[in-house]
Amino acid sequence: MAVILGYGVWPYSAWVNETHDFRRVASTLAEHARGTDAAMFVNRRFFQVDFYAGREIRQIKTVRELNEYLTRPERPVVLVNGPYWQEQREKTPPEVRILDEIRVGRESLLIVRMSKG
């Protein structure tokens, strides 16, 4: 029985890694950050991103904190899950732009930053 379960987990793991590619999320976040800071403004914790980033990504919990973070001079990036962004978007400055969108399972994750200028 253990042998069957052991072999059965490989196709499942491959499917999960393909449809929930958090390694790609972490690398895309780092690519957009390019030496600046990165944070997450999400309505649930994505420990997988922390794992693949090799560190704990800062969690932003309020819109006020998000706005303060986004308006820093170094223009850091923020990972936001799509539905949560739709709820909170109008509370952020109009200069905030979506840099990238990554599908993870059924969910859309967005990377946002203040535009230049």
Give CA–CA dist 111/75, Å, rounded.
Answer: 12
- pLDDT one-digit tens code per residue, 28-67: 999 999 988 999 999 877 889 999 999 999 999 999 999 9
Share of the chain above pLDDT 90, in %: 66
Give CA–CA dist 15/32, Å, rounded.
Answer: 27
Closest by alpha carbon to 28, among 66, 84, 79?
79
Topology given in CATH for the domain delimited by 21-114: D-Maltodextrin-Binding Protein; domain 2 (3.40.190)
Strand ranges of the sheet holding 58-59, from the earlier edge strand across to the other edge:
58-59, 38-41, 77-81, 107-114, 96-104
